[in-house]
Amino acid sequence: MFHTIWHPTRHGGLSRLVMTGMWRLSSRLSARRRAAGLAGPLGMVCVVSVWALAVAVGWALVYWPHMPQSFSYSAGLVPAEHAGPVDALYVSLVTLATLGLGDIAPAVGWLRVVGPLEALVGFALLSATVAWILGIYPALARRRTLALRLSHVRGGATSRELDSDGGASLLDGLASAVSVITVDFLQYAESYYFYDGDENTSLPRQIGHAVGLAELAVHSRHPDVRLSASVLRRALDDLAAILDERFLRTGAATAGVFASYASDHGDRRRTGAALRRGPDASSPGDEERRRP
Torsions phi, psi for 196 (to 5 deg): -105, 105
User: What would the DSSP string read from start to end of 223-255?
Assistant: HHHHHHHHHHHHHHHHHHHHHIIIII-----HH
- Looking at the chain, the whole-number percentage of residues with pLDDT higher than 70 is 85
Which own/partner contact pairs does 116-124 have at CB distance under 8 Å and 24+ positions apart? 118/55, 118/59, 118/92, 119/95, 121/55, 121/96, 122/55, 122/95, 122/96, 122/97, 122/98, 123/98
Q: What average pLDDT does the chain have? A: 84
- If one compares 176 and 102, the residue with the highest pLDDT of the two is 176
Residues 288 and 161: their CA atoms lie apart, in Å, by 10
Rounded Cα distance between 64 and 66, Å, is: 5
pLDDT at 34: 54
Task: Write out pLDDT tens, residues 183-225.
Answer: 999 888 889 999 887 889 999 999 999 999 999 898 888 999 9
Q: What is the pLDDT of residue 260?
A: 94
Does residue 275 register a pLDDT over 70?
no
Our measurement of the distance from residue 213's CA atom to the centroid of its chain's CA atoms, rounded to an integer in Å, reads 26
**278 phi, psi to nearest 5 deg:** 85, -125
Using the 8-state DSSP alphabet, how is residue 191 labeled? G
In tens, the pLDDT along 58-76 reads 999 999 999 999 999 998 8
Instruction: Annotate 45-64 with b (16+ C-beta within 10 A) or e (fewer).
Output: eebbeebbeebbeebbeebb
**Cα(215)–Cα(229) distance, integer angstroms:** 8
119 near 98, Cβ under 8 Å? yes
What are 118-174's pLDDT values in tens digits?
A: 999 999 888 888 988 898 999 999 999 999 999 988 866 677 788 889 999 999 999
Distance set, CA 175 to CA 169, 188, 225, 250 (Å): 10, 20, 12, 24
Q: How many CB atoms lie within 10 A of CB 4?
A: 21
